[in-house]
Amino acid sequence: MFNFEKLEVYAKAKKFNSAVALFLEQTKVSRNKKDQLERAAFSIMLNIAEGSGRFTKPDKRNFYIIARGSTFECVAIFDYLKDLESLHLP
């Protein structure tokens, strides 16, 4: 088992990534929006994993900051999709 697999935040990111995949399977979302959301959600997991393998605190922090940014990106995409839904747009 790798160190990142023991992190609660990694487990939550993994669960979120699975939920995003399920959401996208069940929802009509344009290809470019779907791709952006998939990549952002996956980036959260990958940056947490990569950051945990770094040796210095600044190096680790950099990857965790990127993961946090990808989380905000996902929130913004869901906010946008919610607005589209309320307007009944694809």
pLDDT tens digits, 42-70: 999 999 999 999 999 999 999 999 999 99
Above 90 in pLDDT, residue 20?
A: yes
Let me know if residue 9 belongs to a domain: no
Q: Is residue 67 a contact partner of residue 12, using CB atoms and an 8 Å limit?
A: no
For the chain, how many structural domains are there in total? 1
Whole-angstrom Cα distance, residue 87 to residue 69?
27
Let me know if residue 63 belongs to a domain: yes
| Residue 70 exposed, middle or buried by CB count within 10 Å (0-12, 13-18, 19+) | buried
What is the percent of the chain with per-residue pLDDT over 70, rounded to a whole number? 98
**pLDDT the model gives residue 70:** 98
Nearest to 73 by CA among 81, 84, 83: 81
Domain hosting 48: range is 28-90
Q: What is the pTM of this model?
A: 0.91
Average pLDDT over every residue of 62-80:
98
